[in-house]
């Protein structure tokens, strides 16, 4: 018998305000056509003033708990992947913990930028399979609109706000790839590349700062590293690309998503794509895509999913799970 972390519930939340590409034409030297053709993005959501990452995360968490038929009090651990926590500390996860009415568990943030949700899933899996927790709420939530340089057309048109959440629970599996739940994970980072994508503020500067990115270079690393990490996680699970029902990639750029699918020898019909509607929501993009994929009727019980992401650090990784 092998302990597995299986998905019991899923949910997401997107802020009300939708901003179409054309909005940026008013203030920047850019066009809807450029943004669509270079990134695949058509619109994104921005949080309202006073609406913070923990608020988005709480909405997604409550939706996932309702979907699982569970109360917040029944959760052992809350893991929130974010790079845009409301405050330097305490963690946004503890804010969510309070908001969902949980006092018996523990809560912490995971900061691995766009790879954050993959890192959070791997941490949740480790807590569950080691017996330290039975029920873990894993959330990805971001308000990247708060760390944009609105004069930099190379970055501010690409990002959006949102949140998605999963409830995982420990069950006994058979130890084969036919099991439901997380089957394998692969995590990587290489701090030599940290200057390619970073925020130029924080505790050391006295202000939150804004995002800086060398887009072309990050693009090059993404195409090279995403297929490799997905293949590594699949091999660890004893599976190949032929077994995959859905790739659920980090939603940064349609051209990266297409190039990675091609490297994995998987047709775009087996890729969940939400980048056109959400933009790049960093750690929120994968749980948002999973939740929308379920809502659309794409992802069904028993489906084999590989999810992969890369972002600032550079940090990247993949998770293989059966729905």
- Tell me the residue nearest to ligand UT7 as measured from the CB: 215
d(CA 139, CA 129): 19
Shortest distance, CB of residue 54 to ligand UT7, whole angstroms? 22
Shortest distance, CB of residue 260 to ligand UT7, whole angstroms? 11
Among 4, 15, 39, 223, binds ligand UT7 (CB under 6 A): 39
d(CA 56, CA 82): 11
Among 65, 120, 218, 286, binds ligand UT7 (CB under 6 A): 218
Instruction: Using the rule CB under 6 A, give the single segment among 70-78, 161-169, 212-220, 232-240 that binds ligand UT7.
Output: 212-220
Looking at the Cβ atoms of 129 and 214, the one nearer to ligand UT7 is: 214
Instruction: Lay out the site mask for ligand UT7 across 137-176 (x = CB under 6 A, - = otherwise).
Output: ----------------xx--x-------------------
Residue 106 Cα distances to 47, 189, 210, angstroms: 27, 26, 31
Rg (CA), the chain: 18
Residue 220 Cα distances to 196, 224, 259, 311, angstroms: 11, 6, 11, 12
First-to-last C-alpha distance (Å) of the chain? 19
Shortest distance, CB of residue 36 to ligand UT7, whole angstroms? 11
Q: Using the rule CB under 6 A, is 256 a contact of ligand UT7?
A: yes
Whether 21 is catalytic? no
Backbone phi, psi, residue 200, to 5°: -85, 25
Shortest distance, CB of residue 150 to ligand UT7, whole angstroms? 12
Whether 253 is catalytic? no
Whether 241 is catalytic? no
Residue 281 Cα distances to 53, 165, 253, 288, angstroms: 11, 13, 11, 9
Looking at the Cβ atoms of 58 and 253, the one nearer to ligand UT7 is: 253
d(CA 189, CA 315): 4
- For 291, other C-beta atoms within 10 Å of its C-beta total 27
Q: Using the rule CB under 6 A, is 253 a contact of ligand UT7?
A: yes
Count of residues engaged in binding ligand UT7, rule: CB under 6 A: 20
Instruction: Sort strands 77-81 and 135-143 into parallel, antiparallel or unpaired.
Output: parallel
Catalytic (active-site) positions = 114, 250, 280
């Amino acid at each position: 018998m092998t302990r597995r972390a299986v998905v019991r519930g899923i949910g997401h939340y997107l802020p009300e305000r939708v901003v179409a590409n054309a909005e940026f034409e008013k203030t920047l030297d850019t066009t809807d056509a450029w943004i669509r053709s270079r990134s695949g993005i058509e619109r994104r959501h921005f949080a309202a003033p006073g609406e913070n990452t923990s608020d988005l995360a709480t909405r997604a968490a409550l939706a996932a708990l309702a979907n699982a038929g569970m109360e917040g009090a029944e959760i052992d651990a809350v893991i929130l992947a974010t790079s845009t926590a409301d405050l330097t500390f305490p963690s946004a996860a503890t804010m969510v913990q309070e908001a969902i009415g949980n006092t018996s568990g523990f809560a912490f943030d995971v900061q691995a930028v766009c790879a954050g949700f993959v890192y959070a899933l791997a941490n949740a899996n480790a807590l569950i399979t080691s017996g330290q927790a039975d029920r873990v709420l894993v959330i990805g939530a971001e308000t990247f609109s708060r760390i944009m340089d609105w004069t930099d057309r190379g970055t501010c048109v690409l990002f959006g706000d949102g949140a998605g959440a999963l409830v995982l629970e420990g069950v006994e599996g058979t130890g084969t790839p036919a099991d439901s739940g997380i089957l394998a994970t692969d995590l990587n980072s290489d701090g030599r590349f940290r200057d390619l994508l970073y925020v130029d503020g924080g505790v050391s500067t006295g202000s939150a700062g804004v995002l800086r990115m060398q887009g072309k270079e990050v693009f090059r690393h993404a195409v090279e590293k995403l297929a490799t990490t997905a293949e590594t996680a699949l091999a660890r699970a004893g599976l190949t690309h032929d077994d995959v029902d859905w790739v659920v990639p980090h939603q940064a750029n349609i051209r990266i998503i297409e190039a990675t699918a091609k490297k994995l020898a998987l047709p775009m019909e087996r890729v969940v794509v939400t980048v056109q509607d959400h933009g790049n929501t960093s750690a929120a993009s994968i749980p948002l895509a999973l939740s929308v994929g379920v809502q659309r009727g794409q992802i069904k019980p028993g489906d084999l999913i590989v999810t992969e992401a890369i972002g600032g650090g550079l940090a990247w990784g993949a998770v293989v799970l059966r729905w």
